[in-house]
């Protein structure tokens, strides 16, 4: 008698490795210029200062490696930091996490009952969809575009037609993948819809401080301290491997968040969190962010100039006011997956095609691509965009011949 081995739960059996994932493995090859991933630039990490912070922590805190409750002085610092995002909150509203991704994981489990409906933007950060997968909610995509972000008019019509979301997920600043920041007027109306229809917003602000204008709009949380759950992170401003981020949420949810966090990885202060707390206590954070913003702005400008110069007429792209990405819509219905194939094989350049960000029932953006400008130097960005343009040219010529 053959007995089969253990089986994964239903949601996990549905996981498929996509052709896209297989292709993106190729982006790790050293001869490929990658505009694909969303990595911060490691040359900009404050590695030496962080090493000093670890050494200081280990020398001065006998219990630095012990189980310990969340670090009060880091919560206080984050509460102050939120003022730079227009948000007034107390340390008792700051819940520390192992990064913004963990914030998503905790908030989806905190807020969703079985069978719930979740609204996301039609081009959606895949990590949020991954967090939803084990919960199997109904996913509804609201229209969103690279020029104005989430289409609040369309959302209002959907709500008027009976949509009853248990939560809405949005990236109002430096949108991943669209590279857009939501206009102030849309923010105001979005929060009014949340209040009026009674659904919480999960605001992903991972890129909020990596902004290229001095006058960015305040975070959604600035407009409503009750219905907006705000996610922040030091992954883009300090370094990802420290795994330190936060949720800003009404204090009455912190007990349940604490239980969820404890069940996920023990709600204990990590060495990374202690190092971050020491780093910020030394006054190093704001000067570091200023350096980052200047350097990433230089890279953004290099990319926008190259796109303007290299891509064919009829292309459209976002002009990011924050974040790591721009989004390009190719003219003539070009097939971005076909372009990626040629780009990888002949031109040695990688990007992520728009369809990788498809959510729910929204039609995938087959003629779009996401380009990253945070990781490479301005020179490699310029060369990378030129290669993408050549790959697009080759695909267009082939289609003209065959079509």
Q: Which of residues 80-139 bind a second copy (CB under 8 A)?
A: 97-99, 101-102, 104-105, 109-114, 127, 130-131, 133-134
Binds a second copy (CB under 8 A): choice among 120, 275, 342, 389: 275
Closest separation in Å from C-beta 113 to a second copy: 5
* C-alpha pair distances (Å), 11 with each of 60, 139, 168, 203, 341: 47, 14, 21, 26, 30
By C-beta, is 61 or 301 nearer to a second copy? 61
Element (H, E) at 369: strand 368-372
- Closest contact distance (angstroms) between CB of 135 and a second copy is 9
- Provide, rounded to whole angstroms, the least separation between the CB of residue 10 and a second copy: 5
Q: What is the DSSP letter of 228?
A: E
358 lines the binding site for a second copy (CB under 8 A): no
CB of 338 to a second copy, least distance (A): 27
User: Mask: binding to a second copy, 240-269, rule CB under 8 A, as x and -?
Assistant: xxxx------x--x-xx--xx-xxxxx-xx
Nearest approach in angstroms of CB 234 to a second copy is 11
Binding mask 217-236 for a second copy (x = CB under 8 A): ---------xx---------
Exactly one of 77, 125, 169, 199 binds a second copy (CB under 8 A); which one? 199
Instruction: Report the residue number, 46 or 145, with the smaller CB distance to a second copy.
Output: 46
Selected from 17, 31, 215, 333, the binder of a second copy by CB under 8 A is 17
Site for a second copy in 18-37 (CB under 8 A): 37
Site for a second copy in 47-86 (CB under 8 A): 47-48, 50-51, 54-55, 58-59, 62-68
Pick from 347, 364, 371: nearest CA to 129: 364
CB of 127 to a second copy, least distance (A): 6
What's the rounded Cα separation, in Å, for the pair 163 and 161? 6
- Collapsing DSSP to helix, strand or coil, 354 comes out as helix
Whether 224 and 191 have beta carbons less than 8 Å apart is answered as yes
Our CB check for a second copy shows the closer of 64 and 394 to be 64
By C-beta, is 59 or 400 nearer to a second copy? Answer: 59
272 binds a second copy (CB under 8 A): yes
Which CB atom, from 263 or from 291, has the smaller least distance to a second copy? Answer: 263
H helix or E strand, kind and range, residue 366: none
Alpha helices in 16-125 (DSSP H): 19-25, 47-60, 72-81, 100-111
> Three-state SS string across 128-196, please?
HHHHHHHHCCEEEEECEECCCEECHHHHHHHHHCCCCCCEEEECCCCCCCCCCCCCHHHHHHHHHHHHH
Residues 6+ apart with CB under 8 A from 100: 204, 205, 206, 231, 232, 233, 235, 245
Segment 146 to 175, residues that bind a second copy, using CB under 8 A: none
Please give the backbone phi and psi of residue 73, each rounded to the nearest 5 degrees, phi first: -70, -25
Stretch that binds a second copy, among 196-204, 211-219, 309-317, 356-364 (CB under 8 A): 196-204
Selected range binding a second copy among 42-50, 184-192, 341-349, 359-367, rule: CB under 8 A: 42-50
Residue 356 contacts residue 317 (beta carbons within 8 Å) = no
Count of chain residues binding a second copy (CB under 8 A): 78
3-state secondary structure of 275: helix
Question: For a second copy, which is the closer residue by CB, 295 or 301?
Answer: 295
List the beta bridge partners of residue 34. 350
Among 137, 146, 200, 384, binds a second copy (CB under 8 A): 200
Nearest to 130 by CA among 6, 7, 14: 14
CB 92 within 8 A of CB 78: no
């Amino acid at each position: 008698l053959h007995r089969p081995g253990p089986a994964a739960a239903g949601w996990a059996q549905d996981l498929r490795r996509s052709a896209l994932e297989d292709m993106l493995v190729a982006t790790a090859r050293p001869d490929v210029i990658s505009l694909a991933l969303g990595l911060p630039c490691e040359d900009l990490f404050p590695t030496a200062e962080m090493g000093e912070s670890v050494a200081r922590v280990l020398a001065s805190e006998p219990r630095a490696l012990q189980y310990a409750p969340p670090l009060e002085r880091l919560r206080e610092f984050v509460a102050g930091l939120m003022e730079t995002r227009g948000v007034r909150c107390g340390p008792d509203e700051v819940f520390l996490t192992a990064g913004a991704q963990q914030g998503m994981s905790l908030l989806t489990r905190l807020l969703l009952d079985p069978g719930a409906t979740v609204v996301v933007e039609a081009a959606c950060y895949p990590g949020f969809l991954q967090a939803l997968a084990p919960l199997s909610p109904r996913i509804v995509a609201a229209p969103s575009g690279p020029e104005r972000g989430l289409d609040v008019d369309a959302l209002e019509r959907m709500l008027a037609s009976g949509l009853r979301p248990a939560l809405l997920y949005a990236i109002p600043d430096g949108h991943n993948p669209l590279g857009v920041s939501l206009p102030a007027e849309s923010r105001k109306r979005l929060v009014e819809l949340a209040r009026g229809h009674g659904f919480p917003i999960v605001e992903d602000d991972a890129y909020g401080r990596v902004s290229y204008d001095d006058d960015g709009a305040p975070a959604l949380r600035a407009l409503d301290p009750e219905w907006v759950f705000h996610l922040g992170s030091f992954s883009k401003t300090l370094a990802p491997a420290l795994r330190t981020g936060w949720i800003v949420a009404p204090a009455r949810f912190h007990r349940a968040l604490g239980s969820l966090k404890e069940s996920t990885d023990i709600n204990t202060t990590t060495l990374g969190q202690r190092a971050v707390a020491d780093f910020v206590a030394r006054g190093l954070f704001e000067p570091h962010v200023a350096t980052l913003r200047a350097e990433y702005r230089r890279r953004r400008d290099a990319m926008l100039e190259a796109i303007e110069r290299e891509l064919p007429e009829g292309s459209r792209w976002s002009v990011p006011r924050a974040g790591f990405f721009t989004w390009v819509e190719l003219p003539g219905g070009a097939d971005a997956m076909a372009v990626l194939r040629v780009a990888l094989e002949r031109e040695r350049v990688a990007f992520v095609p728009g369809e990788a960000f498809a959510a729910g029932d929204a039609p995938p953006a087959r003629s779009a691509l996401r380009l990253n400008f945070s990781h490479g130097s301005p020179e490699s960005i310029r060369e990378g965009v030129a290669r993408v343009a050549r790959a697009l040219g080759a695909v267009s010529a082939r289609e003209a011949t065959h079509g």
